Amino acid sequence: MPDKRRLPVLQTEAPEDAAAARRPPWQWVLIGGGFVLTIWVPLVIAGLWLARALAFAPIFGVLVTFALACCAAGALVGRFGGRAREREAALAGLSGALVACLIALLGGSPRFSMLAPAALALGALGTTMAWLGGRAGVRSRAK
């Protein structure tokens, strides 16, 4: 039986991938925080609608969608973050939580005394879920 002919596989790296690999890990914290907010906004709209339709408290929809957004953002940082690892993904979740609370404070929603426990809860949830997503993202990197 003759040997099979195989096509050569070119493994060239795109310039964008090379730039992402050279980017310092702290920049991925800021990029991941932006990911958290941009993923969370459409999710929270759907989550609040679903929570109302299922007769759950609105905070349930907010927390579940925030956890999903942090996990997804952490996975993106872990997968495409170059030298960024789970730590940077977790810090991205924390930064997303803090920016969300800052936006709520500047928007005039709650007083600071009411916002501090919410910031702690969102920070802990965001850090944990983004770390889990970052861990999955790092594991999915091409070897």
Return per-residue pLDDT of the chain as tens, 143 residues: 667 777 676 666 677 777 777 889 999 999 999 999 999 999 999 999 998 898 888 888 899 999 999 999 999 999 999 889 999 999 999 999 999 998 888 887 667 777 888 889 999 999 999 999 999 999 998 66
Distance between CA atoms of residues 94 and 128, nearest Å: 9
8 A C-beta contact, residue 137 and residue 77: yes
8 A C-beta contact, residue 111 and residue 55: no
Q: What pLDDT, on the 0 to 100 scale, is given for residue 1?
A: 60
Q: What pLDDT, on the 0 to 100 scale, is given for residue 29?
A: 96
Classify the C-alpha dihedral 100-105-110-112 as positive or negative: positive
